Chains A and B, each alone.
Chain A
Amino acid sequence: MSKQQQKQVPPTPNRRVTLFVTCLADLFRPSVAFACLDLLEEAGCEVVVPTDQTCCGQPAYNSGDREAAIPLAQQVVSLLEPADYVVIPSGSCAGMIAHHYPSLLTGEWRERALEVSAKTYELTVFLQDIVGIPPRSPIKAARTSVTYHDGCAGLRELGIQNQPRQLLKNLCGVEVDELKQSEVCCGFGGTFCAKMPEISAKMVDDKLENALATGATVLTGGDLGCLMNIAGRARRQGKELEVRHVAELLADQRDIPAIGEGQ
């Protein structure tokens, strides 16, 4: 059971969900956002996508620029306040909103952030623990060997581990081939990978090595930042690995090229 689940609002039928797509999905991987729409609709939710959403402010926050991060956090809080549920296809952005906003903001904004925090869920937590999306039958996805990368914020701030694995099983019939050292960071770390590229490269190489050692052909995960890092390094090193966001697999969207792959 996730840490998030314990604070849940009692579920109501036909939930109205506000989708925060994240800036990375918006810019680099729209299929993740479209996959979320499909999955949430499949789960019987009514989905709203506020069109003036941009970024949750993590880059500034983690780089020590609160002055820049605070107005962004306030903007996101205002944007998400009307929602019944907020769903985000990223553990680190969900963690930022649910976990860090309340300590970043003060006074009345803090109270408002806490309210938003209480209804904010990472995608797989929402699908698995909150709506309990029913298993598909028959399962559509082709059988393929998949390994999973746990993003650090999702794993440690939100307790996400079992949910994506269960969903992959229920919706795609996929049993995850676990990679060794799965709890170790892939070296992305937001601006870290650009500030300390050599160290980051060593870390992502370890991750790739462990992923390839499973023999899986697909690596998936819940955070585009990590996935772009892993895919980008795999491409640079000429390593074969199909990297996709878990939403793409769950929504059975494997026809578009994988992250960092051409047509």
Chain B
Amino acid sequence: MEISSDTFLDNASAALRDTDKAKRRDFIAIATPQIRKAAIDEFEGFDALRKHVKRIRQHSLNNLAHYLEKFEQEAVQNGNRVHFARDGAQLNDIVLDICQQHGAKKVIKGKSMITEETGLNDFLKRGNLDVVETDLGEYIIQLAGEAPSHIVGPALHKSADEIGELFLKNHKLGDREFQETENLVDEARGVLREHFLKGDVGIIGSNALIAENGYSMLVTNEGNGDLCANLPDVLVICTSIDRVLPRAEDATAMLRLLVRSATGQPQTCYTSFYSGPRRDTDIDGPVETHFVLLDNRRSDILTSDYREMLECIRCGACLNHCPIYASVGGHAYGSVYQGPMGSVLTPLLTSLEESSALPNACTTCGRCAEVCPADIPLPDLLRNLRQEENDKKLTSSRWRSGLKLHSWLARHPRLYQWVTGIVIPAMHIIGGSRGRLSRLPMASGWTSQRDFPAPESRTFMQQYKARLRKNHEQ
């Protein structure tokens, strides 16, 4: 998985200076929580369902090997081939191999985070394949040559004008104007239709693998997944091993949480179940179907303190409710996974060394955990990652020693009060009649952006002890 998370602060800084984009993000950050809230308020029993699904997810993960085997058995029975990929490179190899075996030239893709994670598109292109994303958002960022900025809405950062420009540049359709957003959608539909018809291999993702019948469930709003799955002769479903659930009803229970949390809809426009290749009685469908199931460190996560992260259903609610995501946007994270879930997952899928800013991109405000339909304690997991950074000494030594000193002093109340009894009145005097300090050598991060309110006077303890002494004397 390729990331550029080590430059998070620089990326963030650049994003903050782009005021047009920042306005757009502000708007989305206000609108998306409202949309979700309306959907959840209207839906009774969200919390009960959340608990229920959590139990199922935990049960599936506790018995992951069993359910994966069961799934494999059933899927093979249905005529699919099932491949397991240890890491991203292996997934890419498997998929390229399938394409080459069929002499494919054009691959059409539905939205799949797993193939974003493995960088499949670039890999296939290097293998001389023409790869076309058919989810509108993914298609837009493919034209723009960008990474997704949001796990659910990959092109949420693009305005209609920008999309219009991209279309004018890339679709050779002569002079035209896009009055309404609908015009853009119409044009994309027309252009994509041609691609759909020419696809040799279709690649899609999966929202759940169902162990009891070997089916894969996929939800989309555009129906593009179904076209990718049914028009080409070969279908490849790429997903990760943690997506497996015991029964079909578990998948649909999860779906009720997922869709409301993601887009505020009660249901997406399309919910599809894929069973396998076309049977003799079917009028259409692929002739050959493959599942490629990615591990990429997930079995390590399963046995770690971060296993709850595998319960994530990729709804994007934590991104939509994260004030840091809202401030800097998805690209700043330098990863296909952004926001709170990305800040946990990216270090786990790559390394803390490459992404050490991410666990710190959080005020532990807890809004993500509050809305997470999978009830994942994201701030706690981020704090655990900070613990690892601290243990591995990845944080700045100045910070570490500053904190150590502070904690050591705080463990020696007398000394602490003696020191603060000198420093605080001095700061009060320096603050003077302005009541604030514009610069503080030990807190330059703070004073780079704001004044530091000067201490009001001597410390409380100084005053309180003096009061006690006075009362005692009287």
Spell out A's residues near B (CB within 8 Å).
21, 23, 25-31, 33-34, 49, 51-55, 57, 59-66, 68-69, 71-72, 75, 152-153, 156-157, 181, 183-185, 187-204, 206, 228-229, 231-233, 235-236, 256-257, 259-263
Contact = CB atoms under 8 A, between A and B. Distances in A.
B59 interface: no
A26 B460 contact: yes
A72 B410 contact: yes
Contacts of A201: 449-450
Interface string B251-287: 0000000000000000000000000000000000000
Contacts of B26: 206
Interface stretch (B66-74, B195-203, B295-303, B323-331): B323-331
Given A51-B464, A232-B446, A262 B434 contact: yes
A123 B163 CA distance: 52
A262 B430 CA distance: 11
Contact of A198 (B12, B435, B460): B12
A34 B435 CA distance: 19
B260 to A, nearest CB: 19
Interface in B324-375: 324, 327-328, 359-367, 369-370
Contacts, number: 217
A62 B456 contact: no
B103 interface: no
Contacts of B457: 30
Contact of A203 (B327, B414, B451): B327
B410 A260 contact: no
Contact of A185 (B365, B459, B464, B465): B365
Query: Which of B366, B384, B385 gathers most chain A CB within 10 Å?
Result: B366
B445 A30 contact: no
B431 interface: yes
A30 B367 CA distance: 31
Query: Which of A27, A57, A157, A229 gathers most chain B CB within 10 Å?
Result: A27
Given A57-B410, A201-B450, A236-B449, A157 B416 contact: no
A195 B400 CA distance: 12
B406 interface: yes
B403 A198 contact: no
Query: Which of B359, B386, B388 gathers most chain A CB within 10 Å?
Result: B386
Contact of A54 (B367, B413, B456): B413
A152 B460 contact: no
**Helix, strand, loop or mixed for chain A's interface?**
helix
Contact of B450 (A27, A52, A233): A233
B317 to A, nearest CB: 14
Interface in B36-63: none
Contacts of A194: 443-446
Nearest to A95: B366
Contacts of A260: 435-436, 451, 453-454
Contact of A196 (B9, B450, B465): B9
B323 A60 contact: no
Contacts of B365: 152, 156, 184-185, 189
Given A191-B399, A256-B456, 9 more contacts: A28-B454, A54-B417, A63-B390, A181-B30, A198-B13, A199-B12, A201-B450, A231-B453, A263-B435
11 contacts: A28-B454, A28-B456, A54-B409, A54-B410, A62-B364, A64-B389, A156-B366, A190-B364, A195-B360, A198-B13, A202-B22
B449 A197 contact: yes
B424 interface: yes
B178 interface: no
A27 B424 contact: yes
B452 interface: yes
A68 B450 contact: no
B395 interface: yes
B159 interface: no
B318 to A, nearest CB: 14
Contact of B367 (A53, A156, A198): A156
Nearest to A75: B411
Contacts of A204: 449-450
A146 B144 CA distance: 48
A10 to B, nearest CB: 29
A194 B364 CA distance: 14
Nearest to B457: A30
B461 interface: yes
Contacts of A181: 30
Nearest to A243: B453
B432 interface: yes
Query: Which of B30, B408, B453 gathers most chain A CB within 10 Å?
Result: B453
Contacts of A198: 9, 12-13, 16, 449
Contacts of A229: 450
Interface in B416-437: 416-417, 420, 424, 431-436
A48 to B, nearest CB: 11
A169 B463 CA distance: 31
Given A156-B365, A185-B363, A68 B407 contact: yes
Contacts of B431: 262
Contacts of A262: 431-436
Contacts of A236: 438, 449-451
A256 B365 CA distance: 30
Contacts of B450: 201, 204, 229, 232-233, 235-236
A194 B455 CA distance: 18
B169 interface: no
B213 to A, nearest CB: 40
Contacts of B451: 232-233, 235-236, 260
Contacts of B461: 26, 51
Given A72-B411, A185-B323, A62 B432 contact: no
A152 B321 CA distance: 13
A220 B458 CA distance: 23
B383 A62 contact: yes
Nearest to B25: A202
Nearest to B428: A28
A192 B363 contact: yes
